[in-house]
Amino acid sequence: MNSLRLCLSTIVASILFVYGNPLYAQQTTVPVQEVPAQTGVTTADGIVTFAKEFFTLYQPKTALEMVNRVPGFTLNDGGGVRGFGGAAGNILINDKRPSAKQDLPSAILGRISASQVERIELIRVRVRDIDLQGQVEVVNVVLSTDAPATVRWELQNRQNFLVGWSPGASISLADRLGDIEYNVGFDTRWANLGDPGVIKKYDGTGKLTEIRTDEDQGDGPNANAYLNAATWIGKSFVQLNGRTGIENRDLGLQSTRVSQLTGVTTYQDILTIRRNKRLELGMDAERVLTPVFLGKAIVLYNLLDGKPSVSQRDFNAARLQTRYQLEDEEFTSTEFIGRMEFDWAGIEGHAIEANAERAFNVLDNSQVFTDDTGKGPKVIAVPGGNVRVEEVRWNYLVQDSWSIGKLDVETGLGLERSTISQSGDATLERSFKFLKPRMVLTWAPVRGNQTRLRLEREVSQLDFNDFTSATVFEDDDVALGNPNLHPDSTWISELSHERRFGRVGVIKVTAFHHWIKDVLDLLPLTPTFEAPGNIGDGRRWGMIVETTVPLDWTGLDSSQISFRARRQDSTVVDPVTGEDRRLSGEGGFRGDWSLMNENRYAFDVDFRQDIKSAKVSWGWGVAERDERALYKANELDIFDEGYDVMAFIETTRWFGLKMSVEGQNMIDNRVKRDRTIYTGERSLTPVLRRELRDGHNGARALFKIVGSF
């Protein structure tokens, strides 16, 4: 409750400052185009342009650092999107989207030196044949055409005070070979990780029965190589994007269990091994077919190949092995996408687009589970462990954009058709069809002010891993797969208003209401087992506030505070109890501080000051989000990470290098889990036991040096 009060009071304070600040009242009377000499910012025709001089104060070394300093903009790395259409997130480079999905926009921007950037544009309506691809706004990074060859490099080392060092390095080269512009890069990192904790188990009467102490340590390398290239071939502009990489991880968990009833101590070791290989190749070609007709073709191939395994060894009080369980798995996941896009400007004042996309996705998964209690290994069948899932999906879209005075209108109608087939432990084939209309109205009566109404139907991305089953050794449980999954769809209504003031000031308030059909959640299969499934219709509603406020008026020159907060609620009929409840949130001990999750609130506050004369920047941040609940068949699982506190200091004073130290998770926030298991159906039968986990994953210090030549 205190956290919620802090969240709401900060929202109110931000709004009062923006709307009550006399400096802002004066600024709104000055045309924005008259102040670029002081601010490096201009606004015109739905574009806010930030000259490279705007970012000088922040000492950026990469395009990613520059994009992260654009006021009122949050980078979206894509993901959770079906096909290619929205996979590039909300980033353009020279008006064009990279033909990549797994090579994330943030990674691509991180390989571009800041010295190559000419300007950055924040685009909120369709301009210059730029298609927003369903995003409400995008950032366009415009690179210099005559930039010299540049090598960008980075060395870093993260010290986790629980588990040790995690060194990493990256290097990239941007140059031109004849008419071909290219960027090649390589990065690698040795990771150390862990989240030790103590679990206290209670019986149904609340009596303490066991104390379990978990000590874990994980490490291993990952490495990636990248290539991005572009050139003109005749009258066609062609881009090539490629990525290949490996990820190896070994995670060992040593568990000591002390019975509070008998005093006997037993032991358990769990070893998780991950071996993944990844490949992505993408190419697109764009050509002006007539003066008013533009065509673009895209092909994309993704491959993920893995051989994970998990084993568990149980030991008695004398440390003699009493049981050995092993789950060996092999999987191959592939995706092939072909896409055509056409833009036609044959009707004055209108920009009409049509596209068609075909995606073919395959997951091959095989699994062998053995159990040895001393009499030799015995193969145990796990339903859903050996499957092949295929999806053929077609997407079509036609949309039109035009302006009526100060009002920009974008309307479109999409159609998605897909067939999902499964073989192996289950044989099934299903077909789906979704109509996806959308409309975005953007009204900008005066410069620096914009109101947007968005109405759209979205279809979710299915995770093929939800079709397969796996053993969860830590919980003595099985995560079952579900061959009957189908995508949920959401009707989105969203109203937002944005006001910009001064050099960096911005406030954006967004209210939303979502109607969800066939909610993807946890579906009970028996009184004690569940699987990912569709549980019926639901709703989600709330408000998001984002603001950046300059603090020069306080005497802290060149300082600012940024605040983001979400307050939401949701409802769906619980398939176990038949009563209304909130949607399940994402589980797990770890998790980023994304505002978009199924909980009641989340917020983060970030302060930054840039001292130009000393070439030093420093700042701090605080984030918190509400607990997340998973509603299982016979279990209520609640996760809570508490507060996350960070601070940093960086400088470019020496040798032209950017050196920084960042404290992460500085208060080593507690990671709590409250797991209540019932004898049968959740909340309808007596409590069997309760497990309370109290853990942490360590305060960290990140040391980084970035340079270019």
403: tokens are 């302006």
361-392: pLDDT as tens digits = 999 999 999 999 988 999 988 888 899 999 99
pLDDT confidence bin for 86, thresholds 50/70/90: low
pLDDT at 696: 86
Residue 159 lies in a domain: no
- CA angle centred on 371, ends 369 and 375, rounded to 5°: 145
| Count of domains observed in the chain | 1
- Indicate if the alpha-carbon torsion angle 650, 188, 109, 546 is positive or negative: negative
Residue of 600, 594, 598, 610 whose CA lies nearest to 550: 610
pLDDT confidence bin for 10, thresholds 50/70/90: very low
Q: What is the DSSP letter of 16?
A: H
**Cβ neighbours of residue 245 under 8 Å, at least 6 residues apart?**
222, 223, 224, 225, 277, 278
Which pairing describes strands 477-479 and 489-501: parallel, antiparallel, or unpaired?
A: unpaired
Residue 549 lies in a domain: yes
Please determine, for residue 602, whether its predicted confidence score (pLDDT) is greater than 70.
yes
Spatial distance between the Cα atoms of 26 and 633, rounded to a whole number of angstroms = 59
Please determine, for residue 278, whether its predicted confidence score (pLDDT) is greater than 90.
yes
Please determine, for residue 34, whether its predicted confidence score (pLDDT) is greater than 60.
no
- Map residue 692 onto helix, strand or coil: strand
Q: Do the beta carbons of residue 125 and residue 408 sit within 8 Å?
A: yes
628-666: pLDDT as tens digits = 899 999 999 999 888 889 999 999 999 989 999 999 999
pLDDT confidence bin for 588, thresholds 50/70/90: low
Residue 347 lies in a domain: yes
Residue 553 lies in a domain: yes
pLDDT confidence bin for 72, thresholds 50/70/90: confident
Please determine, for residue 621, whether its predicted confidence score (pLDDT) is greater than 90.
yes
Residue 596 lies in a domain: yes
Q: Do the beta carbons of residue 298 and residue 284 sit within 8 Å?
A: yes
Spatial distance between the Cα atoms of 125 and 108, rounded to a whole number of angstroms = 24
577 backbone dihedrals φ, ψ, rounded to 5°? -95, -20
Mean pLDDT (whole number) for 35-64: 77
Residue 525 lies in a domain: yes
Mean pLDDT (whole number) for 169-185: 92
Spatial distance between the Cα atoms of 536 and 488, rounded to a whole number of angstroms = 9
Residue whose structure tokens are 């909980």? 599
Residue 392 lies in a domain: yes
| 3-state SS record for 547-575 | EEEECHHHCCCCEEEEEEEEEEEEEEECC
- Indicate if the alpha-carbon torsion angle 128, 133, 137, 138 is positive or negative: negative
pLDDT at 91: 85
Mean pLDDT (whole number) for 674-703: 94
Residue 521 lies in a domain: yes
The CATH number of the domain holding residue 581 is: 2.40.170
Q: Do the beta carbons of residue 605 and residue 620 sit within 8 Å?
A: no
pLDDT at 129: 65
pLDDT at 79: 56
Q: State which residues form the domain around 290.
A: 177-708
User: Exposed (0-12), middle (13-18) or buried (19+): which is 375, by Cβ within 10 Å?
Assistant: exposed
User: pLDDT: is 265 or 468 the higher one?
Assistant: 265
Q: What is the DSSP letter of 468?
A: S
